């Protein structure tokens, strides 16, 4: 499997702050980059996704920034809330229907 | 929106027995489903790609004779862990991509099945 590298492994942010999680990929054939949120004991849920034809996508408090030349993309969570405390995974795949390859995950804790 | 359902959500079995986990796409047809395994505090690792009407494609290092996958219909894939051992205890998650016309192509995940082998 092609690797998707995610950092940091864990992150502590104060309520109202900005959470930033970064990912880098190797396979230039990837053209679909989603972020998933997972709570303990649950399956992952799609937060937001981007395709390489745009450099940024925003949905509510969540923004993906995408740098195609650097093969990097990041998730920004604005005005972080305690309810955002979860594990976040970046992933990548091709649009041809192949499986997602996941990063190792980032455990986010938002302190109130 | 599209929903993927897994059953059972939790199963405990004795070592040496077999366990079957079902994955259903509830409101769309899925010619392809994916099975992942997740150990505690780790990422999701792709085990196999399940193709309707044909053999599954397994990732390197995954024993196809131990993890039997059957995708007999466009809405159902099953994973059978045969002769389960304690090291097979894990969280198994299936997913399916919604390729309906006008859909987003989003990959939907089931809620996962927690397997504990005693």
Nearest-CA neighbor of B95 among B60, B40, B27, B49?
A: B49
Q: Considering CB atoms only, which of A34, A42, A97 is closest to B32?
A: A97
Helices (H) and strands (E) in chain B — how many of each? Answer: 0, 11
Q: Considering CB atoms only, which of B34, B43, B99 is closest to A103?
A: B43
Q: Give alpha helix (H) positions in B1-118.
A: none
Tell me what the mean pLDDT of segment A11-40 comes to: 95
Q: In Å, how far is A10's CA from the nearest CA of chain B?
A: 11
Residue A41 or A96, more confident: A41
- Whether B42 sits inside 8 A of A104 (CB atoms) is yes
Q: What is the pLDDT of residue A97?
A: 64
Tell me what the mean pLDDT of segment A95-111 comes to: 88
Percent of chain B with pLDDT over 90: 70
Q: Considering CB atoms only, which of A43, A97, A98 is closest to B93?
A: A43
Q: Which residues of A touch B46 (CB under 8 A)?
A: 1, 99-101
Q: In Å, how far is A16's CA from the nearest CA of chain B?
A: 26
- The answer to whether the peptide bond before residue A8 is cis (omega within 30 degrees of 0) is yes
For the stretch B25-46, what's the b/e string if a residue is b when 16 or more beta carbons lie within 10 angstroms of its beta carbon? Answer: beebebbbbbbbbbeeeebbbb
Q: In Å, how far is A44's CA from the nearest CA of chain B?
A: 6
Chain B CB within 8 Å of residue A40 CB: no
What does the pLDDT look like over B64-82, one tens digit per residue? 999 999 998 889 999 999 9
Q: For A26-105, where are the E strands, in sequence order?
A: 33-38, 45-50, 56-59, 62-67, 72-77, 86-92, 101-102
Query: Where residue B32 falls among pLDDT bands split at 50, 70, 90?
Result: confident
């Amino acid at each position: 499997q092609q690797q998707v590298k995610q950092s940091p492994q864990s992150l502590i942010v104060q309520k109202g702050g900005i959470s930033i999680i970064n990912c880098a990929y190797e396979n230039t054939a990837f053209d679909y980059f989603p972020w998933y949120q997972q709570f303990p004991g649950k399956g992952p849920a799609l937060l937001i996704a981007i395709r390489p034809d745009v450099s940024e996508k925003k949905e509510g408090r969540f923004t993906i920034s995408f740098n195609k030349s650097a093969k990097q993309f990041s998730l920004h969570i604005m005005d972080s809330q305690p309810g955002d405390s979860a594990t976040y995974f970046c992933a990548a795949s091709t649009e041809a229907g192949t499986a997602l390859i996941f990063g190792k995950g980032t455990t986010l804790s938002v302190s109130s | 929106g599209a929903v993927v359902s897994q059953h059972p959500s939790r199963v405990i079995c004795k070592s040496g027995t077999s366990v079957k986990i079902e994955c259903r796409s509830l409101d769309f047809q899925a010619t392809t489903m994916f099975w992942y395994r997740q150990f505690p505090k780790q990422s999701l690792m792709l085990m196999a790609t399940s193709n309707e009407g044909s053999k599954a494609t397994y990732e390197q290092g995954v024993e196809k004779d131990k993890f039997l996958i059957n995708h007999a219909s466009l809405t159902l894939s099953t994973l059978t862990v045969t002769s389960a051992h304690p090291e097979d205890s894990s969280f198994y998650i299936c997913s399916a991509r919604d390729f309906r016309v006008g859909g987003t192509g989003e990959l939907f995940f089931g809620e996962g099945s927690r397997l504990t082998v005693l």
